[in-house]
Structure 1
Amino acid sequence: MLSHGIILGWFSLMYVFLASDDTPLDEKLTVQHGSWIGSILGMGGLTTNLIMGYPLDYFGRKPVMYFLVIPHATHWILIYFGTNVIYLYVARFLAGVAAGGGVVVFPIFVAEIADTNIRGSLGSAIFLAISAGLLVGYICASFIAYKVLPCVALVLPTIYIISIIFLPETPIFLLRAGKTEKAEKSYYFYKGLSAEDPESKKEFKEFLDELLADSAVEKITTKDFCNREAWKAFGLVIVLLFTHQMSGNFAILTYATTIFEHLNSKLDLHLCTIILGVAQLLGMIIALFLVDRMGRRILMLSSLAGMVLGELIIAGLKYFASSEFLKEQGWFGLATMCFTSFFSSIGVASVTVVIIVEILPIKLISVCTSISIAILNIFIFITLKIYPEMIAEYGLGPTMIMTAVSCIFSAIILGLFLPETKNKHLA
């Protein structure tokens, strides 16, 4: 996920470079090219998500985690050899395939191995890694040549493969596959327990009994989807997915350089984007420490409130501030963007998927998380496709008002119906 974050941050700055006369491609990018390159990431993720539930439940979490390296590494290879926009389309599509798989399998993997008191922090750490990658991507785009970064970036998936080789499969998947003995060993490994200790065996027996009581290791049937509890969870999931993208959370980071250009600041665009990345990373770090202390609900609602304020201020700058003010007081636009990104990170960006995994019925967690992230990628495609076109056609002000209204709508619905899932037992 760190490596994927680098892809996202790198493109945000490279988009401006590739659209300039200095582009290394056969032709410089247009706004249409940029919108497709940005949005096709979501289509790649959608493709993976539509089929991810089956391999997760049939092959397990580990094989899927190995698979992610192939499309991710191929992305960088295509960037290195690419000479026209078609290479970028395919590369971004494959990056979406890898990310779409990662955003499904990693939260499930973490939820199934982590203690309840640290599950939120570990789940948020996945998105902290993306944020750190975004910042690294901004820096790399500023200081590393276009053709050099792909060679450097391929080191990360290599480290990733080596790092996960010795991790066992999750105990819940192994139990569902009928491999009770391996599940017991896996449980002891992730809980840090000794197989020789009678208390360890007693704890595993309690864990197994809880799963059996919830029918979590039985086969999924149609009835599992058609009940009040499931439909309530599905409704909240849809609102959370809508919130994650239509709030502007991801689009603002993806098109940060374009937004800074529209704010007419005299400050260096690369420096502004790097500072924005720092603010976003700071928000993620704070979320990591607060998610298991304050809970998911309050972080989500606080995040939306901060985003509404920040986006309305940005819109106000475009409507009411003069060009001279924007140029001379460029720090104000930068500070507002950082404020918005910071509040986005402490809730919307960091805990949305954590909440989704926790409110879904445990028996349906693989299939429904896969479907949920598929829907998320549809929203990603829509927002990344229309965002640059809206800014170009209608201006930054109306675009920011649109995302602020989405935040207000989501805050009302989630404020009324979203339960707190801190310390909830998945079994």
Structure 2
Amino acid sequence: MMGDGIENHDYDRQDRPLTEPLVVVAVVGDPSEKTDGGSPWMIYFCTFVAVCGSYEFGTCVGYSSPTQSAIVEDLSLTLSEYSVFGSILTFAAMIGAITSGPIADFVGRKWMMRVATAFCVGGWFAIYFAQGPAVLDIGRLLSGYGMGAFSYVVPVFIAEMAPKNLRGALTAVNQLMICAGVSISFVIGTVVSWRALALINLIPCAVLLLGLFFIPESPRWLAKTGRDKELKEALQKLRGKDADISHEATEILEYIETLERLPKTKLLDLFQRRYRRSVTIGVGLMVCQQFGGINGVCFYVSYIFEEAGFPSSVGTITYAVIQVVITAIGAVLVDRAGRKPLLLVSGSGLVLGCLLVALSFFLKVHGWATAVSPIFAVAGILVYIGSFSVGMGAVPWVVMSEIFPVNIKGVAGGFATLVNWFGAWLISYTFNYLMSWSSYGTFLLYAAINLLGIMFIVFVVPETKGRSLEQIQATINKDTT
């Protein structure tokens, strides 16, 4: 009986109108992605394996900060040579982001994670054996590519294999593990050598490669490539041996049938009317996430505290702790409070944090209330990072993994991730120039951008909590027709 809803899915492949399944799947999927009689342990295990890639992402980001002085001294690097080593990470990540989507569509989500891991392994070994800037930079480029690939494929894999009642929280774990990787690398890097830290950062790569042998491929990718038998096996493994997967499998297959009738997607196709809203939501949230100033604050937080007259070591440690704790809280809330409420709370906090920091610098520039201006700076930065961590840090990745149809997910996801990395580079590159222009003006500008982000969320971004990926697409298609 379990397979009846799957084996007969060809009955109307040619006869049904193109738009009808997008409506029908919402009805078929109403029984929800049930796991009756099953256990979510395999879903949790798959998530653990996948987010080892997220942790590896964090180690790549967190490596350069605690190792700067030691690398410069040991390899006799100039400041500009080390700056190149630090900054080329984002350029390589852009390449990883834009190429990982199409590759993941071709070879599968699991193999894309293997490819990303191989680049990171090569990168860490190159850094470990480096005797000069050339090999050091090659290692950074390799690990940067792997990092960019992980930034796309991990949330997509989790979203495609998780049931809708767990999807938001599990996808948000991606951001939590990135934060953990950054913070732990920073701490470990203060007590071990830079070469030892490079070897330590191979551990999550080893765990990921081993774990990939025990987890199934994304059911939706299997359906997309016509592997119906493997789809059923993967879905049964994920939902539990006693779970009834017929409704969910039928929903996935019918939606894939609809997508098969559409031509192969190219980058320019993303601007077609049928995809316009999905692309606007996915890319728009990446713009909101990055252009609100997060990488300027993150990369130069010690500098901000120093400029405001507050001990940078105390502020930075507090910053790191709050980031991890609040990100964990956000992961718990994303499937309870919903995506949109968290984004709105987060955006409001970002505006408030920017205004407090702007006020601190304004008072300092004019020599007013010098005793309390550092307090405003610390409060503003902590409000800012706490607000970012609870929503804007993780939720855009959750929504991006949900919002794109399967047939454009590779191209659209790669494009959105590229926009994200470009924003990360642009904000980090321009931050010092903006601060030279006006310290308080910089944060007023970020406050204005975050305010525009709130308006975008209110009027454009839908709530996706508690809905299957096919139901989300049915709603978007209905809204754009």
TM-score for the superposition, normalised by structure 2: 0.78
In the alignment, is residue 237 of structure 1 matched against residue 282 of structure 2?
A: yes
Deviations 1:143-177 (A, max 9, x none): 33333211222222112211222112111111222
Structure 1, gaps ≥5 residues long: none
Q: Distance in 2 between matches of 1:303 and 1:220?
A: 37
User: In the alignment, which residue of structure 1 is the partner of 2:417?
Assistant: 373
User: In the alignment, which residue of structure 2 is the partner of 1:189?
Assistant: 237
In the alignment, is residue 420 of structure 1 matched against residue 463 of structure 2?
A: yes
In the alignment, is residue 143 of structure 1 matched against residue 191 of structure 2?
A: yes
- Cα RMSD for the two superposed structures: 2.8
In the alignment, is residue 257 of structure 1 matched against residue 310 of structure 2?
A: no
Q: Which moved more, 1:232-241 or 1:314-323?
A: 314-323
Matches within 5 A, 1:386-425: 386-391=430-435, 393-394=436-437, 396-425=439-468
Rg comparison, structure with higher value:
2
TM-superposed CA distance for 1:414, in Å, is 2.0
Candidates 280, 297, 304, aligned match of 2:340? 297
TM-superposed CA distance for 1:4, in Å, is 2.2
Candidates 341, 346, 362, aligned match of 2:406? 362
Deviations 1:112-158 (A, max 9, x none): 10101110111100111001112212212333333321122222211
Q: Distance in 1 between matches of 2:182 and 2:200?
A: 16
TM-superposed CA distance for 1:44, in Å, is 0.8
- Answer yes or no: is the 8 Å Cα contact 1:234–1:360 preserved in 2: yes
Candidates 217, 220, 227, aligned match of 2:264? 220
Q: Distance in 2 between matches of 1:83 and 1:319?
A: 46
In the alignment, is residue 62 of structure 1 matched against residue 110 of structure 2?
A: yes
Deviations 1:170-218 (A, max 9, x none): 1111122222111110010111234xx7x44x33553344424643696
User: In the alignment, which residue of structure 1 is the partner of 2:204?
Assistant: 156
TM-superposed CA distance for 1:76, in Å, is 2.4
User: In the alignment, which residue of structure 2 is the partner of 1:319?
Assistant: 362
**How many pairs does the alignment contain?**
415
Structure 2, gaps ≥5 residues long: 1-53, 471-481
- Answer yes or no: is the 8 Å Cα contact 2:308–2:377 preserved in 1: yes
Q: Distance in 1 between matches of 2:347 and 2:397?
A: 16
User: In the alignment, which residue of structure 2 is the partner of 1:286?
Assistant: 329
Candidates 19, 23, 26, aligned match of 2:73? 23
Candidates 177, 185, 188, aligned match of 2:225? 177
- Answer yes or no: is the 8 Å Cα contact 2:232–2:249 preserved in 1: no
User: In the alignment, which residue of structure 1 is the partner of 2:98?
Assistant: 50
In the alignment, is residue 206 of structure 1 matched against residue 250 of structure 2?
A: yes
In the alignment, is residue 341 of structure 1 matched against residue 404 of structure 2?
A: no
- Answer yes or no: is the 8 Å Cα contact 2:57–2:151 preserved in 1: no
In the alignment, is residue 307 of structure 1 matched against residue 354 of structure 2?
A: no
Deviations 1:55-77 (A, max 9, x none): 21221111111111122123323
Q: Distance in 2 between matches of 1:23 and 1:328?
A: 38
| Closer, same or farther: CA 271–144 of 1 in aligned 2, 3 Å | farther
- Answer yes or no: is the 8 Å Cα contact 1:49–1:371 preserved in 2: yes
- Answer yes or no: is the 8 Å Cα contact 2:164–2:466 preserved in 1: yes
User: In the alignment, which residue of structure 2 is the partner of 1:351?
Assistant: 395
Q: Percent identity, please.
A: 23
Q: Which amino acid aligns with 2:79?
A: L
Q: Distance in 2 between matches of 1:91 and 1:254?
A: 21
- Answer yes or no: is the 8 Å Cα contact 1:315–1:400 preserved in 2: yes
TM-score for the superposition, normalised by structure 1: 0.88
- Answer yes or no: is the 8 Å Cα contact 2:354–2:443 preserved in 1: yes
Q: Which amino acid aligns with 1:347?
A: G
Q: Distance in 2 between matches of 1:297 and 1:11?
A: 34
Q: Which amino acid aligns with 1:373?
A: T
Candidates 57, 66, 69, aligned match of 1:4? 57
- Answer yes or no: is the 8 Å Cα contact 2:119–2:143 preserved in 1: yes
Q: Which moved more, 1:120-129 or 1:372-381?
A: 372-381
- Answer yes or no: is the 8 Å Cα contact 2:108–2:217 preserved in 1: yes
- Answer yes or no: is the 8 Å Cα contact 2:270–2:412 preserved in 1: no
- Answer yes or no: is the 8 Å Cα contact 2:352–2:380 preserved in 1: no
| Closer, same or farther: CA 307–85 of 1 in aligned 2, 3 Å | farther
In the alignment, is residue 123 of structure 1 matched against residue 166 of structure 2?
A: no
Deviations 1:372-401 (A, max 9, x none): 11222221221222223433x335433322
Q: Which moved more, 1:66-75 or 1:117-126?
A: 66-75
User: In the alignment, which residue of structure 1 is the partner of 2:122?
Assistant: 74
Q: Which moved more, 1:346-355 or 1:222-231?
A: 222-231
| Closer, same or farther: CA 138–162 of 1 in aligned 2, 3 Å | same
- Answer yes or no: is the 8 Å Cα contact 1:38–1:384 preserved in 2: no
TM-superposed CA distance for 1:228, in Å, is 2.9
Q: Distance in 2 between matches of 1:399 and 1:141?
A: 31
- Answer yes or no: is the 8 Å Cα contact 1:279–1:339 preserved in 2: no
| Closer, same or farther: CA 426–85 of 1 in aligned 2, 3 Å | same
